[in-house]
Amino acid sequence: MFENLTSAPADKILALIGLFRADPRPGKIDLGVGVYKDNHGNTPVMRAVREAEKRLLASQKTKTYVGLAGDLAFNAAMARLVFGPETDMARIRTAQTPGGSGALRLVAGLLRRARPGATVWLSDPTWPNHAPILTDGGLNVRNYPYFDAERGTVRFESMMAALEADAASGDVVLLHGCCHNPTGANLDSAQWHEVADLLVRKGLLPFIDIAYQGFGDGLDADAEGLRIVARKVREMVVAASCSKNFAVYRDRVGAAMIMAADATQADIVSSQVLAAARTLYSMPPDHGAAAVRIVLEDPALRADWEAELEAMRQRMLALRVGFADALRRHSNTDRFDFIASHRGMFSRLGLTEKQVERLREEHGVYMVGDSRINVAGLPEDRMDDLARAIVSVLD
């Protein structure tokens, strides 16, 4: 049965976790996988989540099945968090999923049912798992230009020109709702309006992946682009993750959201989403989503969660500024200034694979091969050491 298989290549991001753990050097620096860290290098359970878990354990009377859509109150709270209070919820249906990746895969299952072999346009570059999840789900992928590595900015005109010229009605366009992974370079509001108008004009379906809401410019600001699109289009699909903004990575908490033309169609689409879930994993895990629901529904816990999330966001912004300053001092150039203006957890430094490898081997500095760094992993008390190491591999 298995003799035709060859070993699958290791996931480039997840492989770094093992490499970093195995490195005995005390001064090693982990800028790899997208996990938030405090200034001690820890990823703590958030205060409000811990309290919600206590309440959950004290009050839970059963562990019987929750149903294909998961926790309905969680779904409603997530739809409000993502779409905001002014969106017409009658057209929106939500299914709780195992993380944001589960949401992406579930939406792929829906799209395959709606339009077998549909083409999904992905930004170049994008999160390396996007294409495998979507192709494994039976869809085709193509790329639109997105990032100007020289300038560290969005190639907006090229992006629009490519979608205008090459995307066909019925194609799907995947957009990062905020905090673009891996580049940290995001669309501004005016650009979101232009993209939304293009989607409407060409009959393209927006597929918004929002995995870092609250990590960029704030909870509502980070959803602004998505909400601009939602106000203009008839239909859209969304994959949301709670892994980062609730720090519930291992509990696998996410949501797939579908906006249909009207409530009747939304019900039909929802039935297909649930049928797709039944074939993939049946029902999502309950615990993490139940804790998130408790936080979102309780005003005091919610306020505390928002305050802790805001502190995390501010810390990442300060690290960006400190790192850009250190690189400016040590390189004597403004080459890395873009880091301070990017948003979210990631930026790409613009180093070659070889330079990234040298940083790992010679300095114990770990980052993804395309030179993506996790900003939250920057050591605030060793910015100069890190900047010096980076400058030392530049040529």
Q: How far is the CB of 67 from ligand LMR (least distance, A)?
A: 27
Q: Is-catalytic flag, 381?
A: no
Q: How far is the CB of 369 from ligand LMR (least distance, A)?
A: 13
CA angle, 142 as apex, 138 and 148 as ends, to 5°? 145
Please work out the total of residues on this chain that contact ligand LMR, with binding judged by CB under 6 A: 6
Nearer to ligand LMR, 260 or 359 (CB): 359
**Within 10 A of 393 (CB to CB), how many other CB atoms are there?**
18
CA angle, 220 as apex, 190 and 207 as ends, to 5°? 65
Q: Which of 132, 138, 208 is nearest to 172 (CA)?
A: 208
Q: How far is the CB of 255 from ligand LMR (least distance, A)?
A: 16
CA angle, 356 as apex, 211 and 32 as ends, to 5°? 30
Q: Which of 211, 230, 247, 256 is labelled catalytic? A: 211
Q: Is-catalytic flag, 209?
A: yes
Q: Which residues of 153-177 are buried (b: 16+ CB within 10 A; e: fewer)?
A: ebbbeebbebbeeebeeebbbbbbb
Nearer to ligand LMR, 152 or 182 (CB): 182
Q: How far is the CB of 246 from ligand LMR (least distance, A)?
A: 14
Q: Is-catalytic flag, 211?
A: yes
Nearer to ligand LMR, 129 or 158 (CB): 129
Distances (CA, A) of 328 to 23, 300, 365, 382: 29, 42, 19, 15
Return d(Cα 197, Cα 193) in angstroms, integer.
Answer: 6
Q: How far is the CB of 34 from ligand LMR (least distance, A)?
A: 3
Cβ atoms of 356 and 371 closer than 8 Å: yes
Nearer to ligand LMR, 34 or 379 (CB): 34
Binding mask 128-147 for ligand LMR (x = CB under 6 A): -x------------------
Q: Is 19 in the site for ligand LMR (CB under 6 A)?
A: no
Region label for 368, one of left (φ > 0), alpha (ψ between -120 and 50) or beta (otherwise): beta
Provide the residue type at 69 as one letter: A
Nearer to ligand LMR, 125 or 225 (CB): 125
Nearer to ligand LMR, 266 or 373 (CB): 373
Q: Which of 71, 222, 244, 324 is labelled catalytic? A: 244
Q: Is 127 in the site for ligand LMR (CB under 6 A)?
A: yes
Q: Is 13 in the site for ligand LMR (CB under 6 A)?
A: yes
Q: How far is the CB of 30 from ligand LMR (least distance, A)?
A: 11
Q: Is 355 in the site for ligand LMR (CB under 6 A)?
A: no
Cβ atoms of 103 and 239 closer than 8 Å: yes
- Residues of this chain, 181-240, that bind ligand LMR according to CB under 6 A: 181
Q: Which of 23, 27, 43 is nearest to 35 (CA)?
A: 43
Pick from 15, 17, 19, 33 the residue near ligand LMR by CB under 6 A.
33
Return d(Cα 140, Cα 162) in angstroms, integer.
Answer: 17
Contact positions vs ligand LMR (CB under 6 A): 13, 33-34, 127, 129, 181
> Which residues are tagged catalytic?
127, 209, 211, 244
